[in-house]
Amino acid sequence: MLVNSYEILKHAQDNKYGVGAFNVNNMEIAQAVINAAEALNAPVILQVTQGAIKYAGIEYISSIAQLAANKASVPVALHLDHGTDFEIIMECLRNGFTSVMIDGSKFPLEENIEKTKKVVEIAHAMGVSVEGELGKIAGTEDQVHVEAKDAAYTDPQEAKRFYEETNVDALAIAVGTAHGVYKGEPKIDYDRISEIRAVVDCPLVLHGSSGVPYEALTKAVSLGICKINIDTDIRMAFANSVRKFLDENPNEYDPRKILGPSREAMQAVVEEKIKVFKSDNKAWK
Ligand code: 13P
């Protein structure tokens, strides 16, 4: 069942659990996420980056994700992750996305507000949810890269102003996580999550959640994080499985035999996350 992400995230906010937003680049990943969500009766968000759109083509990737969502027995949103290009955001609206992110985090506050407001006005008129971002999250997510030295935590008062002026449905905040593989253990600024939660009413989003210890994610959810973004852990499960399979079966050349086990490995990762976020058995009809 394809729904918009606000419906999913509001339910999570009201019922105090986290929803996994899993990055999808191809059919096997989409099926892995949906199989996991159905097995655990969990609402879920399928998200694609501008890089995934460039790789697969918007018709292919949105058709795969929409088919997966429409066939699913659980609520599923189709979301654009880190939209920085206005034209691509508009293309997503035309291609059936039910949620888009406008990432204006690299711009000064005023400019970020202006760019975000513009997308909110158009998307809301089409019944599509919008995620904004404030603060700078370190690391690389496809085409978005922030050096560790340039990372900046979200200021709670700026977040309040951003939320009130833009009317976003979800807000991504920078509180110490980073995109990609961690070198050390991430240090999450929990007080900052609480301070932002106290002045911003909408569901909060944690990017860079792969590799974050599960106790930390549980705590972040208890303080107000509703959407938890996972990409790297799925990629690792995919690559490790393909590598292992080809090492053990060097003469195999059937893509189905090579990719089938990786789909199962990715499903196992997604199921584990869903349980940690406590979104299992939270789906509605
Ligand atoms: P990870 O690289 O930690 O999986 O983060 C993904 C993400 O935040 C996508 O926006």
Q: What is the pLDDT of residues 142-196, one digit of tens each?
A: 777 888 777 789 999 999 999 999 999 999 999 999 899 888 888 899 999 999 9
Ligand 1 center to residue 52 CA distance, Å?
14
Return the pLDDT at 127.
97
Cα distance between residue 145 and residue 106, in whole Å: 10
* Cross-strand pairs, 178: 138
Task: Determine the residue type at 224.
Answer: G
- The vertex-61 CA angle with 55 and 62, nearest 5°, equals 140
% of residues, the chain, pLDDT over 90: 91
CA separation, residue 174 to residues 65, 70, 192, 196 (Å): 28, 32, 9, 11
pLDDT value for 177 = 92
Q: Which residue has the higher pLDDT, 92 or 187?
A: 92
Range of the structural domain that residue 102 is part of: 5-277
Residue 250 has pLDDT above 80, yes or no: yes
Instruction: Read off the pTM.
Output: 0.96
DSSP 3-state assignment of 51? helix
Q: Strand pairing of 144-146 and 138-141?
A: antiparallel
- Give a yes or no: residue 283 inside a domain: no
Distance CA 183, CA 148 (A): 12
The reply to whether 64 falls in a domain is yes
Average pLDDT over residues 207-229: 97
Q: Assign residue 15 the CATH number of its domain.
A: 3.20.20.70
**Position 284 in a domain:** no
Question: What separation in Å is there between the alpha carbon of 188 and the centre of ligand 1?
Answer: 15
What does 208-249 look like in DSSP terms, one character per residue?
A: --TT--HHHHHHHHHHTEEEEEE-HHHHHHHHHHHHHHHHH-
Q: What average pLDDT is seen over the chain?
A: 96
Residue 105 located in a structural domain = yes
Among the listed residues 14, 81, 142, 233, the single catalytic one is 81
Q: Is the pLDDT of residue 79 over 80?
A: yes
Q: What is the pLDDT of residue 63?
A: 97
Looking at residue 57, its pLDDT comes to 97
User: How far, in Å, from the CA of 157 to the mean position of ligand 1?
Assistant: 25
Mean pLDDT within 59-76: 97
Q: What is the pLDDT of residue 28?
A: 98
pLDDT in the model for residue 183:
80
131 lines ligand 1 (CB under 6 A): no
Residues 6 or more apart whose Cβ sits within 8 Å of residue 171:
131, 132, 133, 134, 159, 162, 163, 196, 200, 202, 203, 204, 205
User: Would you state the pLDDT for residue 242?
Assistant: 98
pLDDT tens string 19-60: 999 999 999 999 999 999 999 999 999 999 999 999 999 999
Identify the CA nearest to 16 among candidates 222, 282, 172, 229.
222
What is the pLDDT at residue 152? 87
86-94 vs 58-71: helix crossing angle, rounded to 10: 50
Please indicate, yes or no, if residue 194 is contained in any of the structural domains: yes
- Which residue owns the Cα nearest ligand 1 atom 1? 208
State how far the Cα of 93 lies from the Cα of 124, in Å rounded to an integer: 10
The count of structural domains within the chain is 1
What 3-state class would DSSP assign to 282?
coil
In angstroms, the CA 211 to CA 93 distance is: 32
pLDDT score at 6: 95
| 26 occurs within a structural domain | yes
Q: Give a yes or no: residue 38 inside a domain.
A: yes
pLDDT at 142: 78
Is residue 191 annotated as part of the catalytic site, yes or no? Answer: no
Residues 20 and 59: beta-carbon distance below 8 Å: no
